[in-house]
Structure 1
Amino acid sequence: MWMYLGLLAALFLGLHNLCKKHAVQGNEVFPVLLGTITAGFILLLPLYLSSRFSPEYTKEIGFYIDPISLKVHGFIFIKSMIMAASWVLAYQALKHLPITIVTPIRSAGPFFTFIGAIIIYQERPTFWQWIGFFLIIFSVMLYSRIGKKEGINFKKNKWIFAIIGATFLGASSGLYDKFLIQYQKLTPQTLQFWFCWYTILILLVILVFTWFPYTEKRKNFKWRWTIPAVGILLQTADYFYFKALQDPEALIMLLSAIKRSQILIAVLVGGVIFKEHNKRKKLVPLIGIMIGVFLIMYTS
């Protein structure tokens, strides 16, 4: 069951990535990011209020937000800092790179999660799962060669380093999620609500120094319907992902890889919508990544 929940998370993440590309194009990144997280927080706020004023009903429908200790608040704040840094890097890269380049690089995230899962959680992969992960990494290298044809030098372009950094931080957050869900026994909605709250506070601090004081930057900001859509789709994807993680049998290394199937939406649909180049050539490494995901899913 947890694998199917992972596929649902991948579906909403793929749609989330398409909306995100539209939201940041020619726009100020930090206020866009704040808008998306705020939209997710507003989506979850009724659940928090219902948990405080009508706890029995909220428990009955399965969306009760539990009271948590100060220590657990600290754990969630750490996750917020990790993901805020990852998103800032990822949004900046997405603003300057084609979505069909950014998304495949992000698909290398399961490799970092894979290594962490072995070292931290002692998850044991099979031979074919090793093959699957190395196939994903090799396919991403193929994308780098295609990217050069679009004027993107993978050794000198700072946005490439930004998306690699975002990928590493995102993978670290994925490993941390297992600790929060399985070891701290947090429910998905409890983690999501407080995560959004602390991330908003972090982003407001960043904006105080980088956006609010500058009139020109504020004028350049463009509100788009995709900004709240990104937040809503992300929280929906995270809910299914955290529900999958609640299963004691769920392996974070496999779940992380399953989420990479979002690349189908980003490359096939996104390439058409944003009219990006070399779509046919990108299908070759795309197939390699999907075969890698298949090996990970079905050779456990």
Structure 2
Amino acid sequence: MWLLLAFCSAALLGFYDVFKKKSLSNNAVLPVLALNTLFSSIIFIPFILLSHFAPQMLQNSIFYVPDSGGWEVHKFILLKSFIVLSSWAFGYFGMKHLPLTIVGPINATRPVMTLVGAMLIFGERLNLYQWIGVFMAVISFFMLSRSGKKEGIDFKHDRWIWFVVLAAVLGAVSGLYDKYLMGRFNNMQVQAWYNIYQLFMMGGVLMFLWWPKRKTSTPFRWDWCIILISVFLSAADFVYFYALSMEDSMISIVSMVRRGSVVVSFLFGAMMFHEKNLRSKAIDLLLVLIGMFFLYLGSR
């Protein structure tokens, strides 16, 4: 069951990437990110209020949000918010300046980092199939750098590439931390409150960093896709957290499957945004998927 939920989350994440790319085109990054946290919070606030004031309505459902639990619980959720928001900030800036067909495959390397983290932190050991998957993913990354150079993107010196890479690293850290959180706390409690904490964090960023310089930077324009970013991300994360809350779930497999979202983003990058060098990038993507398949075989 948790594996099917992971595939569902992957599909939703693919559409999230597409709407994010559309919203960021010729647009100010920080307001888009702030609105994402706002709409995501709006989605979960009713569940928090109903769970507190009318618990009988949700208590036996998967949408029930337990009472806060005080600082002993919320300090962990606050750290989760900081990690995710940092990953988003780097990822949004990188995605604004890079083709979606470059960003997607880089993000698809997150399972490799998660596996390495699981090996170092949780004592997991890679078998032969998993090592083959890691090797294929690393090779695909270097091949992707060659595709990027055809578009004037130097993987070594392009700061936006490093922004996306750093976002991927923080995303892997977040994934490992998620497994720890789901072993201790309710999945709705974590998701609902970390979105609200992110909203307050982004409010401060918007007020002190973007607002004073808004007239000298890229102007903000409204795009209805901004709402769809929050809808698809919230749905993808809900399914993801629910999968991780299941006792036999494995973060290495769930993380790997979620990166299958690259298939959706790659197809839309080709059809909607008419990105270049699709043939060579398709080979890179194929290597990523083969690597994911070997990771799946080794993690069964």
Most deviating of 10-19 and 134-143: 134-143
Partner of 2:174: 173
Contact 1:212–1:218 (Cα < 8 Å) also in 2: no
Which residue in the other structure is 2:42 paired with?
Answer: 42
What is the alpha-carbon distance in structure 2 between the residues aligned to residue 72 and residue 134 of structure 1?
38
Residue correspondence of structure 1 range 66-105 to structure 2 within 5 A: 66-67=66-67, 68-105=69-106
Partner of 1:33: 33
Q: CA 1:231/1:128 → structure 2, altered by over 3 Å: closer, same or farther?
A: same
**Paired residue for 1:58?**
58
SS in structure 2 at match of 1:156: coil
TM superposition shift of 1:209: 1.5
User: Mean alpha-carbon deviation: is it higher for 106-115 or for 122-131?
Assistant: 122-131
Cα distance 1:41–1:155, how it changes in 2: closer, same or farther (>3 A)?
same
Map of 1:19 onto structure 2: 19
Q: 1:215 to 1:140 in 2, by over 3 A?
A: closer
Moved over 3 A (4+): none
Matched, 1:115 2:111: no
Q: 2: CA distance between counterparts of 1:209 and 1:201?
A: 13
Aligned match of 1:232: 231
Per-residue deviation, 1:217: 5.7
Cα distance in 1, alignment partners of residues 127 and 245 from structure 2: 23
Q: 1:120 Cα deviation (Å)?
A: 1.3
Measured in 1, the distance between the counterparts of 2:223 and 2:268 equals 20
Structure 1 residue identity aligned to 2:85: A
Deviation at 1:270, TM superposition (A): 2.0
Provide the C-alpha distance between the structure 2 equivalents of 1:255 and 1:215, rounded to a whole number of angstroms: 39
Residue segments in structure 2 that go unaligned for 5+ positions in a row: none
Tell me the equivalent position of 1:274. 273
Q: TM-score, normalised by structure 1?
A: 0.96
- 8 Å contact from structure 1 (residues 128, 296) kept in 2: yes
Q: Say whether the 8 Å CA contact 1:123–1:251 is kept in structure 2.
A: no
- Of all paired residues, the percent bearing the same amino acid is 36
Secondary structure of 1:60's match?
Answer: coil
Report the RMSD for the aligned CA atoms in angstroms. Answer: 1.4
Query: What residue in structure 2 maps to residue 201 of structure 1?
Result: 200
Indicate the SS of the match to 1:275.
coil
Residues 26 and 218, structure 2, Cα contact 8 Å, conserved in 1: no
SS at match of 1:276: coil
CA distance in 1, matches of 2:44, 2:64: 11
Partner of 2:283: 284
* Equivalences, count: 298
Shift, 1:89, TM fit: 0.6
Report deviation, 1:219: 8.5
Contact 2:119–2:125 (CA<8 Å) still a contact in 1?
Answer: yes
Contact kept in structure 2, 1:31 and 1:221, CA below 8 Å: yes
